[in-house]
Amino acid sequence: MAKITIIRKKGEDLAAELGLEIKQWFERRGAEVFLLENIAHHAEQSSLEGFIHQVPSDSLAVVVLGGDGTLLSVARLLTERTIPVLGVNIGGMGFLTEVSLEDCYRFFEDILGQRFEVERRMRLQAGLFRQGECLLNSTVLNDVVINKAALARIVDLEVTIDGLPLTTYRADGLIVGTATGSTAYNLSAGGPIVYPTAETIILTPICEFSLTNRSIILPGDAHVEIRVGAKATDVTLTCDGQVGCELQADDIVRVEEAPQPLFLIKSRQEDYFTILRNKLKWGQR
């Protein structure tokens, strides 16, 4: 018997209604279904572990009902799992949750028939170190962001790559992202769009003081280390826009490729360039 896990957006009536409908649809076709409400990203560790244990490790697929934010949080919870994930978009832009409500049942048929393809998406591992102690360790799919408060002064961020000095950014912040995250905050900050299966690390400064400091694309196996300047105040570290903490002067943020990628079930009907044209309205007047 196939096992299907459905994780719906927390507190969303449409997601709750749709989750029950999809559960019944799968059950009528002989599948065993586990319907869960997504857990808050700030939940205690015991709650997070309890949630993960409710997701069978032998699930054929995890269906996420929500927007990109919901899928990002689920991806973080399933860090150690290799279960393929399908995002059904009931949110906004939907670069990750690219399947519409109108098309989702066609995808469900393919899942039960095991006719689907998956894309391997690189993830990042981010660690925050203060005086040698690790204060935060998080896996991200999109990006790790260091930025200052609205009224704070420009922050100095000293960056080294594989132990070699790159530069010291004097900026409002810095985005360290994946190819998957290239269409998120990175794009808004003027960074490049990178094909989502590319195993790269993108560094994009936010409002850099020097006009010559631009985005740089690094190989996926690069080790990035960022030291916060000695005069920094009101600076925050954020992982995938959901998990973060305040930074202090001389804190060190280390970012590298995570051990486990995320496997996304891909559309057999739309290629990535079609998605870009549709989501970003390219070619429209």
Distance CA 237, CA 151 (A): 17
Residue environment code for 140-153, b if the CB has 16+ CB neighbours within 10 A, otherwise e: bbbbbbbbbeeeee
Torsion-angle region of residue 54: left (phi > 0), alpha (psi -120 to 50) or beta? alpha
Handedness of CA 200, 98, 42, 245 (dihedral sign): positive
Catalytic residue among 58, 68, 162, 234: 68
Q: Which residues contact 188 (CB under 8 A, 6 or more apart)?
A: none
Which helix (H) or strand (E) element contains residue 146?
Answer: strand 143-148
CA dihedral 35, 259, 239, 244 (to 10 degrees): 90
- The answer to whether residue 162 is catalytic is no
Burial class (CB in 10 A: 0-12, 13-18, 19+), 191: buried
| Catalytic (active-site) positions | 68
